[in-house]
Amino acid sequence: MKNTTEGETKYMADNSKITRVLSIYNKLSEGKILNKHEEANIFGVDERTIQRDIDDIREYLDFDSGNSNSGATDRIMYDRTIKGYYLEKAYNSKLSNSEILAICKILLDSRAFTKKEMDKVIGNIVECCALKDEEDIVRKLIANEQCHYIEPQHKSDFLETLWTAGQAIKEQKYIKITYTRSKDKKEVERELKPAAIMFSEFYFYLAAFIEDEKTKENFEVPGDIYPTIYRIDRIKKVKVLNKTFKILHKDRFEEGEFRKRIQFMYGGRLQRIKFRYYGYSVEAVLDRLPTAKILSEKDGVYTISAEVFGKGIEGWIRGQGENVEVIDGI
């Protein structure tokens, strides 16, 4: 039987230490709490050895931060209440479980995607963001809602179209689309200058400018300076053209301000409306109409004004019944 040489013993000891240190570091990186006594039992060493391993990792992290441009470093911290070590990250790249749960719930409630796309998106979020030993908890909390998810009626996979349009906006390039109109289901071609992507009540929309004068003749508002709205799931084809436009930063399209005034995704003129609200939750009105301002309040009745685009507001007002009385604007 071959005797183990001094060099071989040192080699095995060195590799044992490497395995131990990497294991400890991986556990800390995954957000786990490290207990010295437990680790010592796992590797058959004493707690002082584990402490030296932790100190070695601390030394490495300090060295790594000194060579980093940011100067920020992860730190190994000790919590006396749980009697264990944990890694405090300089930049927390993961979402908390509560954040993941909230995002998944919002996505499911949006009903924005087909069942196949929704399962894929949620699966990727949980897999990439949740801590490995807590993935199952997050999945179980959304499992029932995910199982009974009802996809939108259009049943269209449009994420690639969404991305293509987004890239065209970033690169300031014109696009040509084939679009199915809602009013007559007719397919039309449009050359557009894309401006923004928005989401509202089940659907993604593309806001884009039409420069073709013949097409603009049919506009409801002659000389409309605002973009036309297209539902992205109705875009059957999209092609980015080798034709660019230039918009200076000071002249960029303010999609945030536009979004406040187009809550119902109907194009048309910008109008100011004034109405009285008799309902119980004025907060719901203010949330629904971000431009809304309370002008006065008397005996629980609010007088409110708001700026909105198009005729979509009319449907909302009818839905409020006796709670809303229009004073001016419609």
Beta bridge partners of 318: none
* First-to-final CA distance of the chain: 99
Residue type, 211: E
Round the average pLDDT of the chain to a whole number and report it: 83
Alpha helices in the chain (DSSP H): 6-29, 36-43, 47-66, 97-110, 115-129, 135-147, 159-171, 213-216, 255-261, 282-288, 312-319
* pLDDT (mean) for 86-94: 70
The whole-number pLDDT of residue 259 equals 65
Cα–Cα separations (whole angstroms), residue 19 to 14, 61, 212: 9, 18, 67
Higher pLDDT: 269 or 206? It is: 206
Residue 162, H or E segment: helix 159-171
* pLDDT (mean) for 47-68: 83
Q: Is the pLDDT of residue 9 over 80?
A: no
**Banded model confidence at residue 134, pLDDT cuts 50, 70, 90:** confident
306 three-state secondary structure: strand
The whole-number pLDDT of residue 14 equals 54
d(C-alpha 161, C-alpha 315), whole Å: 30
* pLDDT (mean) for 225-243: 90
d(C-alpha 225, C-alpha 51), whole Å: 68
d(C-alpha 88, C-alpha 252), whole Å: 40
Q: Lowest-pLDDT range, 84-88, 258-262, 289-293?
A: 258-262
**Which tokens hold the place of 317?**
């007002």
d(C-alpha 310, C-alpha 324), whole Å: 19
Higher pLDDT: 97 or 292? It is: 292
Q: Is the pLDDT of residue 220 over 70?
A: no
Residues above pLDDT 90, as percent of the chain: 45
**Which tokens hold the place of 19?**
């395995």
Q: Is the pLDDT of residue 264 over 90?
A: no
The whole-number pLDDT of residue 11 equals 47
Nearest of 245, 233, 229, 246 to residue 190 by alpha carbon? 229
pTM: 0.64
**Which tokens hold the place of 188?**
């039309």
CA 65 to chain centre: 30
The whole-number pLDDT of residue 282 equals 93
For the chain, what's the residue count? 330
Q: Is the pLDDT of residue 119 over 50?
A: yes
d(C-alpha 227, C-alpha 208), whole Å: 5
The whole-number pLDDT of residue 227 equals 83
Per DSSP, 34 falls in state B
Q: Is the pLDDT of residue 223 over 80?
A: no
d(C-alpha 225, C-alpha 309), whole Å: 12
* pLDDT (mean) for 288-298: 91
Residues above pLDDT 70, as percent of the chain: 81
**Banded model confidence at residue 1, pLDDT cuts 50, 70, 90:** very low
